[in-house]
Structure 1
C-alpha cells in the first residue's frame, strides 16, 4: 500500500517492508482519553488540602510521611482498582455488544455480573479466603455465560433473544445472592456487601494483581479480535465470505468477555453499567469506526474513576459506593437507548 492508496481518514506508517494503517480519529480519541485519564488520576490523588504537586511528590516517595501514607497506602490502591476494573468492564462490554450486534448486550445485561457476584458472595460466606472471591467470581461469570448461550440455542447469541435469556439467568443468580445474604450471619453479610453494590473501598490486593495480569493479556487479545469482529457486524454469510470462522470467534470473544468481567467483579463488584456507557462513548467519539475495544477500556477506566470520586466527595464524609453512582448515571442513559434505539440499528 502506498500513500496515494491510503483510505481517507487513515494514516500510513512504513517501517521497511512493514506498514501500519490506523484510523486518525480513533487514534486521536484514544490519546485524548489517555491524557484525561492521567489528569483524573492525579486529580483524585490530590484533594483534602493536598495539592497535585504534593500528591505526585508523595507518590514518588518524597515529602511529608503522612502525605506518603495517604497517597501510596490509601488512595493509590483504590484508584488502581478503579482504573483496572473500569477498563476491563469497558472492553468486555464492547466485545459483548459487537458479538450480539446489540447495544444492550453488556455483561450485566446477560447475567455475567450477577453470576460472578453470586459465586463471590458464596465464597465469602462459605470459604472466607482472599483468593476465593476472585477465583469463584470468574467461575460464576463463566457459568452464567454458558447457561445463557446454551439456553439461547446458538442463534439467540444475536439480538434480543440472547438478552432476554441473559436477564432471566441474571435474575436467578441475583435471587441466589439475596438468599445467601439473608441466611448468612451479620459479619459474613457485611463482608459480602461490597460485592453486591460495587465498591472500590479496601479491595483485596491479590484480586487487583490478578485483574492487572488479566488485562495485560486480555487487552492485546481483544485487539487481535477486532478485525474479524468488524466483519461479524455484517450478516453471517458476509463474515464467512471474508474468511471469519464464526464458531471459533464467538467462543473466543465470549471467553474473553467472561474472563475480563469475572476479574473485574472480583475487584469492584457489579459495576455493570460501565460496560454499557463506555463502548458507546468510544464509538461516538471515534465516529462509529470498527470495534474500539481499547478506547472503550480507556473510557471505562475514566468513567469509573470519576464515579468513585463523586461517591467519595458528593456527600462526604458519607461514602456512596461506585456501583450506586454508576446506576444513577447509567439508568437514564439505558432508558434513552431503549426509547430512542431505531429498529434494526446495531453497534
Structure 2
C-alpha cells in the first residue's frame, strides 16, 4: 500500500490501484492494489469450498447442508460428532500448518532472493524434526515437542548461516549448506529411530513423514497464536520485504536497515517453521508450492504475503483430503502426498527460466 496526497483530489490513482479513505489530518489516502484484492478473495473462496469438501468427505460422506448444520450445532448427534470433534480440529490444524509453512517459505525465499530457499530445502524442517523426535524417543526427560522443534530449527538455521559464511543468505552456497545440514539432521533422526523399541519408533513415525494424525491440541493452539503474530509481523514488514529483493546498498539507500531486517525475517521464518513442524512434522513442499502459486497469480510489484499464506493453507487442506480419501480405508500421511505433488513442481521450477523477482 502507498500513501497519496489528499490536497490534490484530481490526481487519479496509478493504474491497477484503488484509492481508499482520505485523512484530513495528514492529507493522505491509502492505495490498494486491485489484483491483490481479487487474488486474495479468490484464494479465500477456494479455501472455504475446500474446507466444506474436507468436512463432507471421508469414511462417512455428508452433504454440505449437513456440514453447515453441524457447524451451527444443529442436526443429529452422530453428524455433529463427526464434524465438530473429528474433522474440524484436523481441518484447523491443516489450515494453520499450511499457512505457516507457506509464509515461512516466502519469507525465506525473499530473504535469500532464491525460489528454492524454503525452510524444508535448507534444513530447518529436518532440524526441527530431529529435535522433536529426540523428545519422544531419545531423552530420559520428556520435553514438549514444540519446544524441542523450535530448538532444532534455530540450531539448523545457525549452522546453515555459519557454514555459508561470506555469502550470508544469498547465493547457492547458502542453499547447499542448508541441504548438507538437513542431511545430517535427517541421519540423526533415522539413528534415533533405529536404536529404540519398535513401539516407540512407531509413535515417532508421524514426525518423520509429516502427518496430521499426531497433532497435539496444545501445539495447535500455540501454532495459532504464533501464526497470527507472525502474519501481522510479516504484513508490517511488507515494504521491507519488497525492498530486500534489491541489493543491500539499494535497501539501505531507501531507508531499510538490511542487516537488521534480514535477522528479523530469518527468526520469524524459523519460529513459524518450528511451530508448524511441532504440529504436523516436516511437510516441506508446502513452503515451495504455496509461494509459487501466490507469485503466479500476483503482480511482481510486491511480495504476496497474504496470497502465499492462503495458498499454503489451501494446498495443505487439499493434500490431507486426498490422503484421507484416495486410498480409503488406507490413509496416506499428508507429507507423502505433498512430496508426490511437490517433486514434479520442484523439477518444473528448476527447468523454468528464472524470473527477476524473488
TM range (shorter): over 0.9
CA deviation after TM superposition for structure 1 residue 4, in Å: 2.0
Give every structure 1 segment of 4 or more consecutive aligned residues whose post-TM-superposition deviation is greater than 6 Å.
Answer: 128-131
CA deviation after TM superposition for structure 1 residue 131, in Å: 6.2
2:255 maps to 243
The answer to whether residue 38 in structure 2 is matched with residue 28 in structure 1 is: yes
Q: Greater shift after overlay, 48-57 or 64-73?
A: 48-57
SS of 1:156's equivalent in the other structure is coil
CA deviation after TM superposition for structure 1 residue 156, in Å: 3.5
The answer to whether residue 126 in structure 2 is matched with residue 119 in structure 1 is: no
2:223 maps to 211
Which 5+ residue runs of structure 1 have no aligned equivalent? none
1:10 maps to 17
Alignment partners' CA distance in 2, 1:130 and 1:42:
38
Contact 2:214 2:279 (8 Å CA) reproduced:
no
The answer to whether residue 314 in structure 2 is matched with residue 302 in structure 1 is: yes
2:202 maps to 190
SS of 1:21's equivalent in the other structure is strand
Distance 1:80 1:127, change over 3 A: farther
Alignment partners' CA distance in 2, 1:109 and 1:290:
24
CA deviation after TM superposition for structure 1 residue 123, in Å: 0.6
Map 1:236-275 → 2, pairs under 5 A = 236-275=248-287
Alignment partners' CA distance in 2, 1:303 and 1:49:
21
SS of 1:20's equivalent in the other structure is strand
Alignment partners' CA distance in 1, 2:328 and 2:140:
31
Q: Greater shift after overlay, 11-20 or 229-238?
A: 11-20
Map 1:67-78 → 2, pairs under 5 A = 67-78=79-90
More helix by share: 1
Query: In structure 1, which of residues 28, 36, 40 is the aligned counterpart of residue 50 of structure 2?
Result: 40
Q: CA RMSD in A?
A: 1.6
Map 1:56-205 → 2, pairs under 5 A = 56-126=68-138, 132-205=144-217
Alignment partners' CA distance in 2, 1:272 and 1:242:
34
Alignment partners' CA distance in 1, 2:140 and 2:101:
25
Contact 2:285 2:342 (8 Å CA) reproduced:
yes
Which 5+ residue runs of structure 2 have no aligned equivalent? none
1:95-117 Cα distance to aligned partner (Å, 9 max, x none): 00000000000000111000000
TM-score normalised over the length of structure 2: 0.93
CA deviation after TM superposition for structure 1 residue 3, in Å: 6.0
SS of 1:4's equivalent in the other structure is coil
Alignment partners' CA distance in 2, 1:155 and 1:169:
16
CA deviation after TM superposition for structure 1 residue 346, in Å: 4.4
CA deviation after TM superposition for structure 1 residue 283, in Å: 1.0
TM-score normalised over the length of structure 1: 0.96
Q: Greater shift after overlay, 166-175 or 60-69?
A: 60-69
SS of 2:328's equivalent in the other structure is coil
